[in-house]
Amino acid sequence: MFRIRPATLSKVFARSYATSPSPHALVFLEHCDGELESASLSALTAASRLGGKVTGLIAGAPDQVPSVLDKAKRIKGLDTVLHSVSPQYSTPLPEIVAPLLEKVLSGGSSFTHVVSAHSSSAKSILPRVAAKLDVPAVSDITSVDHDASSNSTTFSRPIYAGNAISTVRAPSSIPIKFFTVRSTAFPAAVSGEAEAETEVLEPVEVSDPPSSHISTSLSKSDRPDLGVATRVVSGGRALKNAETFQATLYPLADALGAAVGASRAAVDAGYADNSLQVVAPELYMALGISGAIQHLAGMKDSKLIVAVNKDPDAPIFQVADVGLVADLFEAVPEMVKKLK
């Protein structure tokens, strides 16, 4: 019988440990108005699927960090939260935040992955740091699988506007694997009872930064935010113009306590704001939306899809759980009346 001598076994273990460190993800946590961004909570879920330790990184101004840190340390799946405070971090400009991230990753850190939401800020910060470290970054992933034995990580990501899914593998030769996460593909991490450890990080002051923040203009609404809403009423080109879009959709959204969304065609035609595109909530109502592949890529993971379209052959009916072939200008007011 073939037997492995104990000495040989310990050498095998020593070697596999040396080549396959256990995953340790650093998640860049974004925040706004004292709350963690829900997209960052989805990134955290993706990071925990790597199967190892998860550390969060919060950078912010002195008046921002305490309340965010208080919430972050209660998030399930976070082992440690690093936090760095400086007035320079009040808005996460890539040229200012990237050096902090670089510092965290330098000097033999144990991090194997760097993760963030696929947000406008993180899309600028992560590739910048990855390039400095001479490693690639994978963006907008919808699934992640880490193979501990080969120390490789495999990702899925939509390409060609969602018409195809590519599978990308980051092999063991890439010491730190960077990726951004499509938030609709992962549920947001929730709060728990345990508290993560916290650690202060000295800020990296950037003198004479090449860019500066001038202003932020946010669209204000009393309806739930599209990114976190569980119900969405979404309108397409059929809504004709901004006035009919609002007059038809808003009463239904209010009756359901839902957020309002829009197809690209409705946004491009100026009926709706750009911020109203692409979501995957629990209830998605597609009103006068054809169901183009690019639209489906954003919303097809919704739990319950309801479609109203006057064309019985509209592709949206192929993904809809409930379909109504009707003129939306008749069907929607009737729904509002019944809901009230």
Q: Which residues are annotated as a binding site for FAD?
A: 237, 263-264, 288-295, 309
User: Which of 288, 302, 320, 335 touches ligand FAD (CB under 6 A)?
Assistant: 288
Q: CB of residue 322 vs ligand FAD: minimum separation in angstroms?
A: 15
Q: CB of residue 236 vs ligand FAD: minimum separation in angstroms?
A: 2
Q: Residue 250 corresponds to which tokens in the numbers above?
A: 């808003």
Q: Which is nearer to ligand FAD, 143 or 294 (CB)?
A: 294
Between CA 305 and CA 292 the distance in angstroms is: 15
Cα 334 from chain centroid? 36
Q: Of the listed pieces 134-142, 209-217, 223-231, 291-299, which binds ligand FAD according to CB under 6 A?
A: 291-299
E strand intervals along the chain: 24-28, 31-32, 35-36, 53-60, 80-85, 113-117, 137-141, 143-147, 152-159, 164-170, 177-181, 197-200, 231-235, 259-262, 283-287, 304-309, 322-325
Between CA 101 and CA 79 the distance in angstroms is: 18
User: Which of 147, 199, 311, 321 touches ligand FAD (CB under 6 A)?
Assistant: 311
The closest of 271, 266, 270, 304 to 288, measured between CA atoms, is: 266
User: Which of 298, 306, 320, 335 touches ligand FAD (CB under 6 A)?
Assistant: 298
Residue ranges for the binding site?
237, 263-264, 288-295, 309
User: Which of 174, 289, 305, 319 touches ligand FAD (CB under 6 A)?
Assistant: 289
Q: Of the listed pieces 14-22, 66-74, 235-243, 252-260, which binds ligand FAD according to CB under 6 A?
A: 235-243
Site for ligand FAD in 146-175 (CB under 6 A): 161
Residue 328 found at the interface with ligand FAD (CB under 6 A):
yes
- Give residues with Cβ within 8 angstroms of 280, minimum separation 6: 184, 185, 298, 299, 300, 301, 302
Residue 325 found at the interface with ligand FAD (CB under 6 A):
no
Q: CB of residue 288 vs ligand FAD: minimum separation in angstroms?
A: 4
Distances (CA, A) of 68 to 62, 120, 164, 181, 189: 11, 20, 37, 21, 15
Between CA 115 and CA 181 the distance in angstroms is: 7
Q: Which is nearer to ligand FAD, 154 or 156 (CB)?
A: 156
User: Which of 308, 319, 320, 336 touches ligand FAD (CB under 6 A)?
Assistant: 308
The closest of 211, 245, 172, 227 to 30, measured between CA atoms, is: 227
User: Which of 40, 277, 323, 335 touches ligand FAD (CB under 6 A)?
Assistant: 277
Residue 251 found at the interface with ligand FAD (CB under 6 A):
no
User: Which of 36, 260, 265, 306 touches ligand FAD (CB under 6 A)?
Assistant: 265
Question: Crossing angle for the helix pair 242-256 and 328-339, nearest 10 degrees?
Answer: 30
Q: Which residues form the interface with ligand FAD (CB under 6 A)?
A: 161, 236-238, 263-266, 277-278, 288-290, 292, 294-295, 298, 308-311, 314, 327-329
